[in-house]
Chains A and B, each alone.
Chain A
Amino acid sequence: MPDVQEIQIRDSAAQAAAVAKSLPQPMVEDLQDMQGEKMVLNMGPSHPSTHGVLRIVLELDGEIITKAVPDVGYLHRGDEKIAENMTYTQFIPYTDRLDYLAPLANNVAYALAVEKLLGIHDKLPPRCQYIRVICCELARISSHLLGVGCFAMDVGAMTVFLLTFTEREKIYNLAEALSGARFTTSYTRIGGVSRDTPPGWCEAVRKFINEVVVNINETETLLTRNKIWVDRTRDVGVISKADAIDFGLSGPNLRGCGVNYDLRKDQPYLCYKDLEFDVVLGEVGDCYDRYLVRMEEMRQSVRIIHQCLDKIPGGFDNASKEPVNVADGKIVLPPKNKVMSSMEELIHQFMLVTQGVNCPPGEVYFGHENPKGELGFYIHSRGGGTPYRLKIRSPSFVNLSILSHLLPGHMMSDTVSILGSFDFVMGECDR
Chain B
Amino acid sequence: MNATELANKLREKFGDIISPPSEFRGEVSVKVAEAERIVEVCLFAKDELGFDYLVDVSSLDNYGEDPRWTVVYHLYGIASKQYIRLTVTVTEERSELPTVITVWRTADWHEREIYDMMGIRFRGHPDLRRILMWEGYPYFPLRKDFPLAGKSSNLPEVAFSKPAPMEGGPFVTVSGGNDSIAREPRVRIPGTDSVEFNNRVEARSDNKETRGQAFGPGPIEPKK
Contact = CB atoms under 8 A, between A and B. Distances in A.
A398 B179 contact: no
Main secondary structure of the interface of B (DSSP, over half): loop
Interface string A61-92: 00000000000110010101110111100000
A382 B192 CA distance: 7
A248 B192 contact: no
B131 A72 contact: yes
A78 B150 CA distance: 10
Contacts of B188: 355
Nearest to A71: B131
A80 B142 contact: yes
B194 interface: yes
A378 B56 contact: yes
B58 A384 contact: no
Contact of A405 (B101, B105, B130): B105
A393 B56 contact: yes
A84 B56 contact: no
A93 to B, nearest CB: 14
A391 B29 CA distance: 17
Instruction: Name the interface size band of chain A.
Output: 35 or more
A85 B131 contact: no
A229 interface: no
Given A2-B126, A247-B106, A393-B56, A386 B193 contact: yes
A1 B55 contact: no
A85 B102 CA distance: 36
Nearest to B195: A85
A1 B126 contact: yes
B39 interface: no
Nearest to A75: B132
Contact of A245 (B52, B81, B109, B113): B52
Most chain B CB inside 10 Å of its own CB: which residue of A72, A84, A260:
A84
Interface in B157-211: 179-181, 186-194
A161 interface: no
B108 interface: yes
Given A1-B126, A81-B148, A117-B25, A398 B106 contact: yes
Contacts of B58: 378, 389, 391, 393
B53 A245 contact: yes
B189 A384 contact: yes
Given A386-B187, A398-B109, A365 B126 contact: no
Interface stretch (A129-137, A271-279, A356-364): A356-364
Interface in B59-81: 60-61, 72, 74, 78, 81
B161 to A, nearest CB: 18
Interface residues of B, number: 50
A82 B105 contact: no
A317 to B, nearest CB: 35
Contact of B74 (A76, A80, A117, A365): A365
A73 B55 contact: no
A54 B81 CA distance: 33
A381 to B, nearest CB: 8
A261 interface: yes
Contacts of B127: 2-4
B83 interface: yes
A382 B52 contact: no
B106 A248 contact: yes
Contacts of B113: 397
A365 B78 contact: no
A120 to B, nearest CB: 10
Contacts of A356: 187
A367 B25 contact: no
A300 to B, nearest CB: 20
A401 interface: yes
Nearest to A383: B192
Pairs of residues from A and B, 5 with the lowest C-beta to C-beta distance, nearest first? A248-B106, A384-B189, A384-B192, A73-B132, A391-B58
8 contacts: A245-B53, A246-B106, A247-B105, A355-B186, A356-B187, A363-B29, A388-B192, A391-B56
